[in-house]
Amino acid sequence: MTKILTGIIVLLCCVQSTVAQVCSGSLGDPIIWVTFGSDATPKVPLRSGITNLSYTGSGCPADAQYAITNMSFGCWGNTWHLMVGDHTGDVGGRFMIINASPDPSIFYVDTIKGLCSGVTYEMAAFVANVLKPSSCGGKGVLPNLTFTLENKSGTILHSYQTGDIATESQKVWKKLGTMFTVPAGMDEMIMRITNNAPGGVNCGNDFALDDITFRACGPVVAALANGSITQYFDVCEHLQQPIQFEVKIQGQMNRPLIQWQLSRDTGKTFQDISGERNAVFIRNNTSGGVYQYRAMIYDAVNAGSPSCRFSSNVTQVNINPLPAQKLPTRFFGCTGSDFYIQSVEGAAYQYEWIGPNGFKSSIRDPIIRNIQYADSGLYQVTILTDKACSRTDSFYIRVYPGAHVTVDTGSTICEGSSVTLQASGVGSFVWLPNIALSNNTLSTPIAKPIETTYYQVMLSNQYGCKDSAVVLIRVRPEVKVDAGADISMFEGDTVSLKGKITGEPAGYYWLPDRWINNAQTLQPVISPQENIQYILNATSPYGCPIQQDVVQIFVYKKLRIPNSFSPNGDGIHDRWVIENANLYPNATVSVFSRSGRLVYTANVNASNWDGYLQGKLLPVGTYYYVIDLGINRPPVTGWIWLIW
């Protein structure tokens, strides 16, 4: 969580302590700062070796347990205070809450590194007794802590006892701390916090701990700004003046050194200002922003260690920027059109516009309606920010003859048809979208869209003035007609046509009306006696041209195939002859025995089988034939009886 160190403006310690051992001078940045995290950091136990207590994820730890939490409520029959957020009031900030072990013990140990010998430090922490005064019959055990500092060999160098930490009617965080001076040659110590009171079966001794800090403490250091301690400067960028900062030290130091620092992130981090190491520092004018200044003081013997420094109060300089200068993107208007003036960003600004022809406005982006030649001239705007910083800008608007374009009222066409678009005006034309247009830069292009389309024409004149208009071309969808695939059939047979229509026809019919049972249905039955073409016609409900498709019908004569013959030489049916075979010049015939042996094959037109195979008359019996007509029709099959 974010901890904000405040109150270094006054010359006394900022947080009232229950004891008088905290720093009454100026403090440095913490060299150790235990915050126990926040909702923005992982929630994990303390690292090994820090405490002898057991970790629990509950906000209500049991005896000899601790929790790292930002909320503890309803604990132990509501005998504890509601604890929400850390001592700074940050609801998401965590703290360590402790239910003491049965016997007094050291419950927190840490090593403090980076100390500077001979420098005085403040060791402090915020502690809250979580027990309500009425709990435990009003006789609850009070926490009593001892802070000790030891060297590496365990010798106690400094000790501080808080005494009993009393219960309060509500949650109260108390800053408890002590001062100590680091012996010569030492830069590291071990800190131990001991709970001197018993817990366990004894009711009470339950407390919360937060923000353990070690900070260098020196004499009171004041950073004067223009001769006085000033917390804030708030000034507009164009009105700012240089500020003289000066350090005043109230106390004795051997060889004090100074380093001025600057923060641009509202005090989260401070950076040394290069070269500014004198008691007096002149801040020159800058661009807009938030600047925080302080002086860091340290003894010359500790010049290389930032942990030995202590700081002055912080002075914040708010330089309120002027409105960004953003002139209109257009400096000319066109008669008959509205002119939009675009100003600077900033919704909280105030605006005062004045211009020719009595123009006045107090809105951010005013509009000159139906601008005319009399509106030409110099326009001026004064912009006032929410911080009372102002800027005045001006620009000149020239007004030119406007462009004017007219179009026809639009058309309705059938799919596949075209129409000429009509636009009138003086200047150059561009039609959009540039789809199905003969030339989109003509005033009268030919359009052939496949679907209903809005066409917009843009007219630009020689002064850069523009006008536009829109025309709608409605496209009536074409009816799609499919008469089906061509058909081959035998004379005397019947078949069904396979017509299909997509779209919304007004009606449909077949032509010619011969050998067809119903010309007004898509799949009529036909029985033609000769080759013929049938045409499927579909009419449009919008008066578009009739759509047609043709199917070719091929009608073939049937073969006359004898089912027996007798090659006995009596002159009667001595050969197997197929009538009408001459109508199928590409047909072939094959004859097979009952066992599947091919016994005869020939062109049907030449078919004149005498019943012989390889000079020998075949036996009496049934034979099977397969005739391929060569017209993309299934083969003709059957049997014949050979007799003697």
Q: Do residue 266 and residue 357 come from a single domain?
A: no
- For residue 606, pLDDT over 90 is answered with no
CA-CA-CA-CA dihedral for 499, 505, 506, 508, to nearest 10: -10
Q: Do residue 58 and residue 157 come from a single domain?
A: yes
**Is residue 10 domain-resident?**
no
Which pLDDT tens digit goes with each residue over 17-39? Answer: 334 378 889 999 999 999 999 99
Name residue 553's amino acid: I
Q: Are 214 and 32 in contact (CB under 8 A)?
A: yes
Q: Do residue 193 and residue 101 come from a single domain?
A: yes
- Where b means 16+ CB within 10 Å and e means fewer, 80-96 reads bbebebbbbebeebbbb
Q: What distances in angstroms separate CA 109 from CA 145, 174, 213, 630, one per listed residue?
A: 13, 21, 13, 106
Mean pLDDT of the chain: 91
**Is residue 17 domain-resident?**
no
Q: Do residue 496 and residue 359 come from a single domain?
A: no
CA 37 to CA 44: how far, in whole Å?
9
Q: Do residue 591 and residue 630 come from a single domain?
A: yes
Q: Do residue 297 and residue 377 come from a single domain?
A: no
- For residue 10, pLDDT over 50 is answered with no
Query: Residue 288 sits in a domain of what CATH number?
Result: 2.60.40.10
CA 34 to CA 598: how far, in whole Å?
106
Give the other-Cβ count within 10 Å of 404's Cβ. 18
**Is residue 2 domain-resident?**
no
- For residue 9, pLDDT over 50 is answered with no
Q: How confident is the model at residue 57 (pLDDT cuts 50, 70, 90)?
A: very high
Query: Residue 194 sits in a domain of what CATH number?
Result: 2.60.120.260
Q: Select from 297, 279, 313, 261 the least CA-distant residue to 120.
A: 297
590: Cα separation from own chain's centroid: 76
- For residue 70, pLDDT over 90 is answered with yes
Question: 263: domain range?
Answer: 220-320
Which pLDDT tens digit goes with each residue over 517-560? Answer: 999 999 999 999 999 999 999 999 988 999 999 999 999 988 89
CA 519 to CA 594: how far, in whole Å?
48
Q: Where among 503, 530, 556 does a domain terminate?
A: 556
The pLDDT value recorded for residue 202 is 85
CA 307 to CA 269: how far, in whole Å?
14
Q: What is the largest CA-CA distance in the chain?
A: 157
Q: Where among 199, 217, 235 does a domain terminate?
A: 217
Q: How confident is the model at residue 7 (pLDDT cuts 50, 70, 90)?
A: very low
Q: Select from 160, 178, 167 the least CA-distant residue to 128.
A: 167
Q: Is 582 helix (H, G, I), strand (E, B) or coil?
A: helix
Q: How is residue 499 annotated by DSSP?
A: -
Q: Do residue 504 and residue 529 come from a single domain?
A: yes
Q: Do residue 529 and residue 632 come from a single domain?
A: no
Q: Are 358 and 293 in contact (CB under 8 A)?
A: no
Q: Do residue 129 and residue 199 come from a single domain?
A: yes
Q: Are 65 and 121 in contact (CB under 8 A)?
A: no
Beta-bridge mates of residue 241: none
CA 77 to CA 136: how far, in whole Å?
11
CA 565 to CA 493: how far, in whole Å?
28
Q: How confident is the model at residue 1 (pLDDT cuts 50, 70, 90)?
A: very low
Q: Where among 290, 320, 350 does a domain terminate?
A: 320
**Is residue 326 domain-resident?**
no
The pLDDT value recorded for residue 328 is 63
**Is residue 150 domain-resident?**
yes
- For residue 3, pLDDT over 70 is answered with no
Q: Do residue 468 and residue 487 come from a single domain?
A: no
Q: Are 46 and 68 in contact (CB under 8 A)?
A: yes
Q: Do residue 496 and residue 514 come from a single domain?
A: yes
Highest mean pLDDT among 316-325, 342-351, 375-384, 426-435: 426-435
**Is residue 244 domain-resident?**
yes
- For residue 447, pLDDT over 80 is answered with yes
Average pLDDT over residues 309-327: 88
Task: For 309, list phi and psi in degrees, rounded to 5.
Answer: -85, 155
Residue 204 structure tokens: 């009470």
**Is residue 537 domain-resident?**
yes
The pLDDT value recorded for residue 4 is 27
The pLDDT value recorded for residue 269 is 94
Q: Are 620 and 644 in contact (CB under 8 A)?
A: yes
Q: Do residue 173 and residue 199 come from a single domain?
A: yes
Provide the pairing of β-strand 271-272 with 280-283.
Answer: unpaired
Residue in this structure with the two tokens 């980076």, named with its chain if needed:
114
Task: For 265, list phi and psi in degrees, rounded to 5.
Answer: -120, 40
Q: Select from 429, 436, 428 the least CA-distant residue to 452.
A: 436
**Is residue 94 domain-resident?**
yes
Which pLDDT tens digit goes with each residue over 148-173? Answer: 999 999 999 999 999 999 999 999 99
Q: Are 312 and 264 in contact (CB under 8 A)?
A: no
Q: Are 222 and 315 in contact (CB under 8 A)?
A: no
Q: Is 441 helix (H, G, I), strand (E, B) or coil?
A: coil
Residue in this structure with the two tokens 């509601």, named with its chain if needed:
82
Q: What distances in angstroms separate CA 87 from CA 14, 32, 128, 213, 402, one per listed residue?
A: 14, 17, 9, 13, 69
Query: Residue 583 sits in a domain of what CATH number?
Result: 2.60.40
Give the other-Cβ count within 10 Å of 422's Cβ. 16
Provide the pairing of β-strand 188-195 with 525-526.
Answer: unpaired
CA-CA-CA-CA dihedral for 460, 461, 463, 465, to nearest 10: -50
Count the domains in the chain.
6
CA angle, corner 580, sides to 591 and 639, nearest 5?
30
